Amino acid sequence: MPLLINRTVAEDNWLTVDKPTELPAGNILVPLEDYLEATEAFSAHSGKVAVEVTPDDDITPLLAEPNRFELIAIHFPDFSEGRGFSFARLLRRAGYTGQLRATGYVTRDRLGYMQRCGFNAFDIPDEHYQTDDVQAFDEITVHYQ
Amino acid sequence: MYQYTEKDQQLVNDRVEQYRDQTHRYLDKKIPEDDFRPLRLMNGLYIQRHAPMLRVAIPYGMLSSTQMRKLAHIARTYDKGYGHFTTRTNIQYNWPQLEDVPDILAELASVQMHAIQTSGNCIRNTTTDPLAGVTPDEIEDPRPWCEAIRQWSTLHPEFAYLPRKFKIAVTASPIDRAASQIHDIGVHLVKNSAGETGFEILVGGGLGRTPHLGQQIHPFLEKKHLLSYLEAILRVYNLLGRRDKKYMARIKILVNKIGIEAFKEKVEAEWQAIKNSDLELPNAEIERLQSHFQPHAYQARASEDLTLEAQLNTDPAFNTWYKKNTAEHKQPGYRVVYLSLKSFSRPAGDISDQQMEAIADLADQYSFGEIRATFNQNLVLADIEQKDLYALWKALVTLDLAKPNIGTLTDMIVCPGYDFCSLADASTLDIADQINARFDDLDYLYDLGDIHLNMSGCLNACGHHHTGHIGIMGVDNKGEFYYQIRLGGSASEEAKLGTALGRGYPADKIADILEAILNTYVENRLEGEPFIKTVDRIGIKPFKENANAITH
């Protein structure tokens, strides 16, 4: 899973935890829904905790205080899903300054739009990754929005 | 008309190269079929029944003669020598090769055109009144606002993967010539009681399987807030619109499910957060856009010409054409001229490369080099001096573009139907031929007056059958084509949806059924009463009885 942060291939310092029953040590990325259900349990975790948003989530609780997270991930289950673009814009508008990471079905041809909505990290599946993907950010050099 | 800045040009040039690269990667099998699909659709490329189909954007219907010549060149070079004008005032090519599309887009970019967002689940081409800027009844020219919307919506990073397609129309006249009430958003320039100009905003209109008319979401929006308000609507829709079923995904479904008041509340809440952002249109930008749409250098003494009246008196064919195919212009001594693309010899909206070239020449000679497309699939030369009408008419007759049937029964909206479209259930072109063959007596058509006949080959309603005075929709019943008929629809300022006569009629009976419907009108109409008013007054029952008698 190549991870691009600010257009550079980077090491992933976060461990994604799908079923957060037993938490591993270190920094973890957990589903927002689970985090909201058991916020106190997660606050006892020794490492840092980040959340991953899925399209059906209500992100209102995140918007109140987004900077309590160093990383917020937004999951794209397929190529047609578009709610994550608005989530990203809303989080940045709410003042979020941390890493905003696109996860799931992240491919070259949406990187430019994702970046312009506020994403700065992209978790690209191996089977979609090409080393020249980074060029996609500059394919369109001018913008109206 | 609008001229690209360097930035506008750079954007379409970049987009051409981006799409060229996407096409190459697809052909190299580096992009899977399913992923390439939305990418090509966002550039107007469909895969149809026979071949790819490329839809080229004509922003708010405006074309220069240079652009029209380029469209002719593309038809000749990359297609079979013709194109098809659509109800979104775009043009479609039915036979391009997928590999050629990047080159076609480069040709388009060379004349300030593109195919961006002519399909896909994104904001489509904004449409407007084909008489914008020349009609005496408008409040102000709507086109600068269309251009503002075009720029805001073009490659908008947040709204490229909406639940479903999204269409916006802008009008500035009490007479609605842009079918604004059947758009996802209708923008109306209106005056308030203080005499100021602003926008009434409608939301949630649309046809398809579940037709709805738009509902008012804002009675009077200050002009500078247009884009922030549109953005607020789009953001609420992008977040809340259904994505699980294609047929439930348009904004009309969302608006009607939660109700216009609840929807408005959400939009207003979002709007408060962004109305004072950089989405606010500065006066300088509004003025810059308006400067592109200033009135032409009209001849002040054009109305002193005496030849027109003499020609009207001596040439009845010209007189008929003048009455049917021209309209009032705000400048004395000028007329608006409709070019009928419903000549009977070709499918509605189809045009050959030679016709395109000739129209470009006529536009240069007589109409300041500009051409407009209408949502009912005709073209307009908007600024014709009255002394030139006779010569123009003669030229149009030779080109088979002067059929004096604008607004009559045979000025039909017809989608391409089963012959081309892979979504269609039934053919439309043969039914249109059948209707044209039956109703070829112009005097009879004139006696019937204004009748809008709209036909679609399936329930997706690309041919606007819900809003035809007479609407025809093809259905496939176990491999046989049947046609449902609706009456009483309208896309005008008094828009409404037609009522179905109940069941489908066999393909070979459609002209007979129409004749029965028209006879019912003629028997029941009050003096001077148009078809649509008679349907309103007497209801569909008598029409239905007479129509059903044909097939029993």
pLDDT in tens, B334-392: 999 999 999 888 999 999 999 999 999 999 999 999 999 999 999 999 999 999 999 99
| Residue spans per domain, chain B | 6-109, 127-289, 305-398, 413-551
Topology (CATH level 3) of domain B413-551: Sulfite Reductase Hemoprotein; domain 1 (3.30.413)
Interface A–B counts its CB contacts (< 8 A) at 78
The upper half-sphere exposure of residue A80, i.e. CA atoms within 13 Å in the direction of its Cβ, equals 15
Q: How far is B411 from chain A (nearest CA, A)?
A: 38
b (16+ CB within 10 A) / e for B133-155: bbbeebebbbbbbbbbbbbbbbb
**What is the mean pLDDT of the segment spanning B532-542?**
97
| Residue spans per domain, chain A | 3-19+27-137
> Has the ipTM of the complex gone over 0.95?
yes
pLDDT computed for residue B409 by the predictor: 96
Contact call for residues B534 and B517 (beta carbons, < 8 A): no
Closest residue to A109, CB basis, from B34, B39, B152: B39
Closest residue to A139, CB basis, from B14, B163, B235: B14
Contact call for residues B143 and B293 (beta carbons, < 8 A): yes
The tens digit of pLDDT for each residue in B83-92 reads 999 999 999 9
Per the CB < 8 Å rule, is A86 touching B239? Answer: yes
What the block records as the tokens of B197 is: 């100009």
Listed range (A15-29, B149-163, B297-311, B523-537) with the worst mean pLDDT: A15-29
Per the CB < 8 Å rule, is A141 touching B14? Answer: yes
Topology (CATH level 3) of domain B305-398: Sulfite Reductase Hemoprotein; domain 2 (3.90.480)
Q: What is the CATH number of domain B127-289?
A: 3.30.413.10
The tens digit of pLDDT for each residue in B426-435 reads 999 999 999 9
Give the list of residues 6+ apart from residue B207 with CB closer than 8 angstroms, or none. B182, B461, B464, B465, B466, B467
**What is the mean pLDDT of the segment spanning B46-72?**
93
**pLDDT band at B502, cuts 50/70/90?**
confident
pLDDT computed for residue B451 by the predictor: 97
Contact call for residues A106 and A124 (beta carbons, < 8 A): yes
Q: How far is A99 from chain B (nearest CA, A)?
A: 19
pLDDT computed for residue B422 by the predictor: 87
Closest residue in A to B228 (Cα) is A145
**What is the mean pLDDT of the segment spanning B132-136?**
97
Whether B440 contacts chain A with CB within 8 A = no
Q: CA-CA distance, B140 to B172, in Å (whole number)?
A: 6
For chain B, state the CA radius of gyration.
23
pLDDT computed for residue A128 by the predictor: 86
pLDDT computed for residue B492 by the predictor: 95
The tens digit of pLDDT for each residue in A85-99 reads 999 999 999 999 999
**Percent share of chain B, pLDDT over 90:** 93
Q: Which of residues 83-102 of A touch B (CB under 8 A)?
A: 83, 85-86, 89, 93
pLDDT at A21 over 70: yes
Q: How far is B41 from chain A (nearest CA, A)?
A: 12
The tens digit of pLDDT for each residue in A109-127 reads 999 999 999 999 999 999 8
β A99-104/A8-10 pair status: unpaired
The tens digit of pLDDT for each residue in B202-220 reads 999 999 999 999 999 999 9
**pLDDT band at B481, cuts 50/70/90?**
very high
**pLDDT band at B99, cuts 50/70/90?**
very high
The tens digit of pLDDT for each residue in B258-296 reads 999 999 999 999 999 999 999 999 999 999 999 999 999
Q: How far is B69 from chain A (nearest CA, A)?
A: 28
Per the CB < 8 Å rule, is B38 touching A79? Answer: yes
**pLDDT band at B330, cuts 50/70/90?**
very high
**pLDDT band at A20, cuts 50/70/90?**
low
Whether A58 contacts chain B with CB within 8 A = no
Eight-state DSSP code of residue A23:
P
Q: How far is A112 from chain B (nearest CA, A)?
A: 8
Domain range B6-109, CATH class? alpha beta
**pLDDT band at B34, cuts 50/70/90?**
confident
The average confidence (pLDDT) of chain B is 96
Domains B305-398 and B413-551 share a fold: no
Per the CB < 8 Å rule, is B238 touching A86? Answer: yes
- Selected for mutation to probe chain A from B2, B5, B119, B158 (highest A CB count within 10 Å) is B158
The tens digit of pLDDT for each residue in A31-88 reads 999 999 988 888 889 999 999 999 999 999 999 999 999 999 999 999 899 999 999 9
User: Helices in A19-99 by DSSP H: which ranges?
Assistant: 32-37, 39-43, 60-64, 83-93
Q: Write down the architecture of domain A3-19+27-137 according to CATH.
A: Alpha-Beta Barrel (3.20)
pLDDT at B130 over 90: yes
The upper half-sphere exposure of residue B510, i.e. CA atoms within 13 Å in the direction of its Cβ, equals 29
Whether A104 contacts chain B with CB within 8 A = no
Q: CA-CA distance, B89 to B107, in Å (whole number)?
A: 20
pLDDT at B257 over 90: yes
Q: How far apart are the first and last CA of chain A?
A: 31
Give the list of residues 6+ apart from residue B260 with CB closer than 8 angstroms, or none. B203, B204, B215, B216, B217
pLDDT computed for residue B35 by the predictor: 86
Contact call for residues B325 and B317 (beta carbons, < 8 A): no
Q: CA-CA distance, A105 to A37, in Å (whole number)?
A: 26
In chain B, residues with a C-beta closer than 8 Å to the C-beta of A58 are none
